[in-house]
Amino acid sequence: MLSIPTLKYIDSGNFFLMAGPCAIEGRDMALRIAERITELTDRLKIPYIFKGSYRKANRTKLDSFTGIGDEKALAILKEVGTTFGVPTVTDIHESAEAALAAEYVDVLQIPAFLCRQTDLLVAAAQTGKAVNVKKGQFLSGASMKFAVEKIQDTNPSAQVILTDRGNSFGYGDLVVDYRNLPEMQSFGVPVVMDCTHSLQQPNQASGVTGGKPRLIETIAKAAIAVGADGLFMETHYNPAEAKSDAANMLPLDQLEGLLERLLRIREAIL
């Protein structure tokens, strides 16, 4: 069970949703996306956490978009939370970022490639914020118990969330092993399926990550059927124009129908 104070509808019996743009590109786009998702999740009584990266540290090329400025983007995240009454989540990449980001958001997210970085996990736990750890593409679900232990040993009251985002499959593809979801749930923490990053095709010759967004619904449906506690999706009103992860995001106008179909699956398995 999540214990984030501002999370609404937690007793609705629905899965919770972490969704928003890959990166904060500006104030207007963030507020526009947050407003639409909040409208949907309020109507459907889905607990909602707004997601947006204040800085993108893991980019293939040096000239890739990384952000609009740390404090500027973090201030936008805080405004989203205040305006719509929803918690917010953003990535951190180094230990020194934990305390800064914690002043603005409710959940600190540890990127998959960094899930074994002890100092980063400890710093996140010390802030007292909830910590969402992405499972490394190179790890089994069972291996994530050590990330949970590092956080909980540092701060026994810390809320830990684990998120699966697929496993490396060859040099430029990922595959989802749904056994990882119940495996990670056995640690007594909420488990989320990242329905967009699990469809990435990294390390493309162009230097821009590819993806298969047409399969987002497939990944999401399977995750709910398996019993995922939450879903993670990046979405944008025009993914083709997005400055980060354009190849993987769900078009915002497709979110409503998808959530409605997922709720029917959730009802069927309860």
Q: Mind listing the pLDDT tens digit for each residue in 144-178?
A: 999 999 999 999 999 999 999 999 988 878 999 99
**Residue 207 confidence (pLDDT) above 80:** no
Average pLDDT value for residue range 197-202: 81
pLDDT (mean) for 121-133: 98
In this predicted structure, the answer to whether residue 31 has a pLDDT above a threshold of 60 is yes
According to DSSP H, which parts of 127-254 are helical? 145-154, 180-185, 216-226
Q: Determine if the pTM surpasses 0.75.
A: yes
- Per-residue pLDDT at 208 exceeds 60: no
Mean pLDDT, range 66-85, rounded to an integer? 93
pLDDT at 91: 97
Tell me, what's the pLDDT at 246?
66
Specify whether the CB–CB gap between 260 and 266 falls below 8 A: no
Q: What are the structure tokens assigned to 44, written together?
A: 């459907």
| Matching CATH number, 17-269, of 3.30.70.330, 3.40.50.2000, 3.40.50.410, 3.20.20.70 | 3.20.20.70
Band of pLDDT at residue 203, cut at 50, 70 and 90? low
Give the pLDDT band (50/70/90) at residue 205. Answer: very low
With a cut of 80, say whether residue 65 has pLDDT above it.
Answer: no
Full DSSP string of 123-153: HHHHTTSEEEEEPPTTS-SGGGHHHHHHHHH
Distance CA 89, CA 186 (A): 24
3-state secondary structure of 39: helix
The SS3 of residue 193 is strand
Please give the average per-residue pLDDT across 110-121, as a whole number: 97
Give mean pLDDT, residues 63-89. 91
Nearest of 74, 79, 76, 30 to residue 55 by alpha carbon = 74
